[in-house]
Amino acid sequence: MKHFYLLICLLFLTVNYAQQPAANGDIPGFQLYPNPVTQGKVFISSTARAPKKILIFDVLGTQVLETTILGSELNLSSLDAGVYVLRVFEKDKVATRKLIVK
């Protein structure tokens, strides 16, 4: 039962942190849609339209995906349903968001 409470606490902290945009380095015009993901694809766009390095972490902080996209489409069909933290690097900027896969 203690593990369950610890997991819920970590989930809450991760989700709360992921919803807050980076204070000084957020990507201009950053958009992530659709969220929650239902068809296995998510679209990530920004004003600069530069290549983006993508890191995805599960709620325990384990990295589950690392890739670079040149366009805006990201295939997430390999991920199980759940809550994740998405971190996007573009040039010298970074954006972190909560990502829900159904």
DSSP letters along the chain, please? -HHHHHHHHHHHHHHHHHHSPPTTTPPTT-EEESSSB-SSEEEEE-SS---EEEEEEETTS-EEEEEEESSSEEE-TTSPSEEEEEEEEETTEEEEEEEEE-
The position carrying tokens 């349903």 is: 81
The predicted structure's pLDDT at residue 13? 58
The predicted structure's pLDDT at residue 22? 44
Buried b (16+ CB within 10 A) or exposed e, 1-12: eeeeeeeeeeee
Domain that holds residue 54: 2-101
- The whole-model pTM stands at 0.74
For the chain, how many structural domains are there in total?
1
Calpha distance 84→101 (Å, rounded): 8
CATH of the domain at 61: 2.60.40.3080
Note the pLDDT tens digit of each residue in 41-78. 999 999 998 999 999 999 999 999 999 999 999 999 99
